[in-house]
Amino acid sequence: MFGKIKSASSKTPQKSQETERTDPSIVEDTDIVEDTESVPAPPLKPFSRKGSHAPIKPPTAPTFQPEIARHVADAPSAGARRSDRAIIGALNNGESTAKKLVVGREISLTGDITACDKLVVEGIVEVNLPNARIIEVSPTGQFTGNAEVQEADISGRFDGELIAHEKVTVRAGGHIRGLVRYGKIVIESGGEISGDMQSLNDSKK
């Protein structure tokens, strides 16, 4: 009568433990961990701004526009302007520079000179000069030959035949030797003439 009575509640915990062990819905946390090392990574995509799908254009080189130099006539140099003024001044004075011949110092010239408007002798000349307008012999010049001109200006030495239809001027230190025909003649102090000298007006009589 006084036997031991086992309560049913004492067996309840064991059933719960068995339930926890046998319940398939309960899975340990270690079972749901995936092996990330065996999963391949997705391919990378190139970065682009949202909405811009146009292909990238290479940069274009800047266009080169060469600067065309102005013509020389548009921008004359100072030397050109001076020479232009000299030519204009000579033309205004009635002197044509297109047919002017200058024989410089230490230069020798021989032969015939034609179509010459003005001859300037600073060196040594042995020529025939027909139908020129002016002959000018500088103090360092020496002329040998025949010359028929309108005017003669002699500061150096002239040897030969000289015909000046308008005027002959013999400067100081100038010397003429030979035949001289002239319309008018001027001999400065120190100038000399030796030879046959006669006015053209007298020869026409």
If one compares 44 and 8, the residue with the highest pLDDT of the two is 44
Q: CA angle, 187 as apex, 181 and 193 as ends, to 5°?
A: 55
Query: Residue 171 falls within a domain, yes or no?
Result: yes
Q: Tell me which DSSP letter residue 117 carries.
A: S
Alpha-carbon distance values, 167 to 10, 61, 78, 174, 197 (Å): 168, 76, 38, 15, 13
pLDDT for position 27:
46
Query: Residue 5 falls within a domain, yes or no?
Result: no
pLDDT tens-place string over residues 85-110? 444 344 444 444 568 999 999 999 99
pLDDT for position 202:
77
Q: Assign 42 to helix, strand or coil.
A: coil
**What value does the mean pLDDT take over residues 135-164?**
97
How many domains in the chain?
A: 1
Bridge-based pairing state of the strands 124-129 and 157-170: unpaired
The pTM for the full model equals 0.53
Which one-letter amino acid corresponds to residue 51?
Answer: G
Question: 136 lies in which domain range?
Answer: 89-200
Query: Residue 22 falls within a domain, yes or no?
Result: no
Query: Is residue 120 packed enough to be buried (19+ CB in 10 Å), middle (13-18) or exposed (0-12)?
Result: middle
Q: CA angle, 36 as apex, 32 and 38 as ends, to 5°?
A: 115
Query: Residue 27 falls within a domain, yes or no?
Result: no
Query: Residue 16 falls within a domain, yes or no?
Result: no
- Among 25-29, 71-75, 154-158, 198-202, the range with the most confident prediction by mean pLDDT is 154-158
Q: Where are the alpha helices (DSSP H) in the chain?
A: 12-22, 78-92, 200-203
Are 179 and 194 in contact, with CB atoms under 8 Å apart? no
Query: Residue 95 falls within a domain, yes or no?
Result: yes
Q: Give yes or no for residue 150 having a pLDDT over 90.
A: yes
Strand partners, 167: 151, 184
pLDDT for position 83:
41
Backbone φ and ψ for 14, nearest 5 degrees, come out as -65, -40
Q: What are the helix and strand counts (H, E) for the chain?
A: 3, 9
Q: Give yes or no for residue 16 having a pLDDT over 60.
A: no
Query: Residue 43 falls within a domain, yes or no?
Result: no
pLDDT for position 44:
57
pLDDT for position 32:
46
pLDDT tens-place string over residues 154-198? 999 999 999 999 999 999 999 999 999 999 999 999 999 999 999
Query: Residue 110 falls within a domain, yes or no?
Result: yes
**What value does the mean pLDDT take over residues 72-80?**
47
> What percentage of the chain has pLDDT greater than the value 70?
51
